[in-house]
């Protein structure tokens, strides 16, 4: 079994069972659990999906307003953050597997971002700042002629969450770094040459004609962590464009606290399990749905908009 680095470690099922059992009325009450409390939920994945994996692949998506040409994006003029605010504040339920956006460049595969990956990306970024030797290293290749239209290419080295694993290398492409009309289309085309388990999800569909599967790129925590470092890098040069045009939702400290409760203070009673007590930890889909329930209740700005005056620096967030 591979061990997670201590920064990423969560309470085990056995450890959680030793805490004080508390009953809660609704999902949002998870936020009020003390460090030594735990609660038991029913599985959150709605009926009709045979597994958490299927739900994460085919469940409903939140869709910020879409554009089908750069002219259209430009005419509207709103930034990705504003579009997310509109979409997140408008949700009427919370059974979602993530939010999606459509590029308007050559690679038109739909980009899918789950809130769990946004949290994990923020966690890797905080880790890289709070633990010596874990820095995220980025090297932008911003060729002045092409960068306006194609965005910057940025080579990234991101630490792994697994013990004794070296840094992960990849390249982010189409990173918006220039304040020009093309920044809208550049940011929608954000991509990378990275591959890992969180992204691999759909790979087996590449060779079949499953339209959904072949048309989706799952954004993972490594890419989000790297992008946060890109924001910081350009911010230090007084360039706010990567932040302004960021396609990834950045959690508030309160959302981080809630997410930590999901991993450390909640068990799920799952009747399909063979074990006697039928308890397990929350799976990916449970966590994703719980996060969306938070968004539905507290809205975008309180949950997935990091405000320096309220939250401090994302790099300094408390994850333990």
**Given the rule CB under 5 A, which of 105-113, 119-127, 193-201, 301-309 is the region that contacts Zn ion?**
193-201
Would you say 112 or 222 has its CB closer to Zn ion? 222
**Given the rule CB under 5 A, which of 1-9, 191-199, 283-291, 292-300 is the region that contacts Zn ion?**
191-199
Cα gap 273→279, rounded to integer Å: 8
- Smallest distance, Zn ion to C-beta of residue 212, A: 21
Task: Decide: is 220 part of the binding site for Zn ion (CB under 5 A).
Answer: yes
Member of 134, 137, 196, 315 binding Zn ion (CB under 5 A): 196
181 contact partners, CB below 8 Å, separation of at least 6: 70, 74
- Cα distances from 189 to residues 71, 109, 122, 245, in angstroms, run 15, 9, 21, 11
- Smallest distance, Zn ion to C-beta of residue 222, A: 3
Per the document, the length of the chain is 320
276 contact partners, CB below 8 Å, separation of at least 6: none
**Given the rule CB under 5 A, which of 21-29, 136-144, 213-221, 310-318 is the region that contacts Zn ion?**
213-221
Q: Give me the long-range contacts of 174-178 (CB less than 8 A, separation at least 24).
A: 174/105, 174/150, 175/140, 175/151, 175/227, 175/230, 175/242, 176/151, 176/152, 176/241, 176/242, 176/245, 177/140, 177/142, 177/147, 177/151, 177/152, 177/234, 177/239, 177/241, 177/242, 178/147, 178/148, 178/241
**DSSP letters of 217-242?**
EE--HHHHHHHHHHHHHHHTTT--HH
- Smallest distance, Zn ion to C-beta of residue 194, A: 6
Would you say 81 or 226 has its CB closer to Zn ion? 226
Member of 84, 222, 287, 300 binding Zn ion (CB under 5 A): 222
- Smallest distance, Zn ion to C-beta of residue 196, A: 3
**Given the rule CB under 5 A, which of 143-151, 178-186, 192-200, 312-320 is the region that contacts Zn ion?**
192-200
Would you say 43 or 98 has its CB closer to Zn ion? 98
Would you say 154 or 220 has its CB closer to Zn ion? 220
**Given the rule CB under 5 A, which of 41-49, 135-143, 215-223, 285-293 is the region that contacts Zn ion?**
215-223
Would you say 223 or 232 has its CB closer to Zn ion? 223
Cα gap 270→187, rounded to integer Å: 41
Would you say 177 or 219 has its CB closer to Zn ion? 219
The footprint of Zn ion (CB under 5 A) covers 196, 220, 222
């Amino acid at each position: 079994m591979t061990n997670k680095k201590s920064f990423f470690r969560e309470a085990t099922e056995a450890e959680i069972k030793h805490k004080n059992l508390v009953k809660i009325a609704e999902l949002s009450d998870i936020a009020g659990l003390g460090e030594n409390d735990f609660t038991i939920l029913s599985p959150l994945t709605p009926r009709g999906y045979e597994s958490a994996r299927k739900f994460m692949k085919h469940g409903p998506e939140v869709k910020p307003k879409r554009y089908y040409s750069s002219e259209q994006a430009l005419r509207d003029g709103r930034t990705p953050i504003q579009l997310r605010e509109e979409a997140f504040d408008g949700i009427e339920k919370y059974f979602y597997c993530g939010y999606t956006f459509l590029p308007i460049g050559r690679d038109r595969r739909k980009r899918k971002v789950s809130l769990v990956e946004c949290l994990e990306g923020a966690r890797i970024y905080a880790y890289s700042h709070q633990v010596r030797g874990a820095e995220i290293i980025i090297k932008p290749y911003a060729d002045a002629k092409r960068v306006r239209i194609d965005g910057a290419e940025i080579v990234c080295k991101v630490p792994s969450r697994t013990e004794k694993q070296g840094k992960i290398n990849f390249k982010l492409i189409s990173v918006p770094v220039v304040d020009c009309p093309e920044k809208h289309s550049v940011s929608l085309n954000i991509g990378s040459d990275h591959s890992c388990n969180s992204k691999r999800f759909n790979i087996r569909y590449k060779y079949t004609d499953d339209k959904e599967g072949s048309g989706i790129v799952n954004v993972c925590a490594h890419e989000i962590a790297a992008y946060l470092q890109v924001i910081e890098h350009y911010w230090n040069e007084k360039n706010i464009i990567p932040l302004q045009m960021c396609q990834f939702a950045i959690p508030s400290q309160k959302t981080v606290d809630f997410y930590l409760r999901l991993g450390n203070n909640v068990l799920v009673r799952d009747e399909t399990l063979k074990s006697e007590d039928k308890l397990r930890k929350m799976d990916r889909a449970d966590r994703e749905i719980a996060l969306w329930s938070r968004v539905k209740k507290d809205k975008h700005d309180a949950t997935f908009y990091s405000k320096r005056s309220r939250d401090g620096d994302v790099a300094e967030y408390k994850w333990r």
